[in-house]
C-alpha cells in the first residue's frame, strides 16, 4: 500500500487563541448582571491550512483577530445565564462565520464564580464540529 502524495492528503491543522479576557454580565445571579465579572476564553479551531501554508496566503486561513472579534460580539450580544450556553454560542458563531473551520473547542473560564469557598478556576469546555 503506497502512501498518498502530500497534495492529496487530508489535513487538519489546529489554530488557537489563549487567554482572551472579557468583562461581562453573564451568570444567574442579579449581582453578576449588575456588576459583571471576568471571563477568560481559550479557543482552538481546526481547518485545512495546507493551501494557506503552501501559498503563504492569509486569505486562505482563519486569523486570530477574526475569531477574537467573534468572541467579543457573542459576549456583548446576549446575556447568558450558564457557561454552557455562552461557550456554545461562541462555537456556533465561529462555525457559522468561517466555513473553512471544521471543528472548534471553546474552554470558558469563570475564575470569580460565586462559590463560597476557595478555588482557582471554574469553567466549561465544549467541542463542536460541522
118-130 residue pLDDT tens? 999 999 999 999 9
Is 110 considered catalytic here?
A: yes
Please give the pLDDT value at position 78: 93
Q: Which residue has the higher pLDDT, 17 or 10?
A: 17
In a domain, 1, yes or no: no
- pLDDT of 32 > 50? The answer is yes
User: Residue 109 domain-assigned?
Assistant: yes
Report if residue 69 sits inside a domain: yes
Choose, from 110, 114, 115, 125, the residue flagged as catalytic: 110
Grade residue 3 by pLDDT with cuts at 50, 70 and 90: low
pLDDT band for 81, please (50, 70, 90 cuts): very high
Beta strand pairing status for 103-109 and 37-47?
antiparallel
Longest dimension (CA), the chain: 64
Which CATH number covers residue 107? 3.30.1130.10
91-108 average pLDDT score: 98
Chain mean position to CA 15: 11
Domain count, the chain: 1
Question: 31 is in which domain, residue-wise?
Answer: 11-129
Q: Does residue 4 belong to any structural domain of this protein?
A: no
Position 9 pLDDT exceeds 80: no
Q: Is 3 part of a structural domain of the chain?
A: no
Amino acid at each position: 500500500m503506497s502512501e498518498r502524495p502530500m497534495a492529496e492528503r487530508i489535513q487538519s491543522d489546529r489554530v488557537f487563541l489563549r487567554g482572551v479576557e472579557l468583562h461581562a454580565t453573564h451568570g444567574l445571579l442579579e449581582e453578576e448582571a449588575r456588576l459583571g465579572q471576568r471571563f477568560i476564553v481559550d479557543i482552538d479551531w481546526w481547518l485545512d491550512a495546507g493551501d494557506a501554508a503552501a501559498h503563504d496566503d492569509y486569505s486562505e486561513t482563519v486569523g486570530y483577530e477574526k475569531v477574537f472579534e467573534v468572541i467579543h460580539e457573542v459576549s456583548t450580544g446576549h446575556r447568558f445565564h450558564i457557561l454552557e450556553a455562552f461557550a456554545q454560542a461562541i462555537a456556533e458563531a465561529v462555525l457559522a462565520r468561517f466555513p473553512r473551520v471544521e471543528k472548534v473547542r471553546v474552554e470558558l473560564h469563570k475564575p470569580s464564580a460565586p462559590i463560597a469557598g476557595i478555588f482557582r478556576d471554574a469553567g466549561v469546555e465544549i467541542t463542536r464540529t460541522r
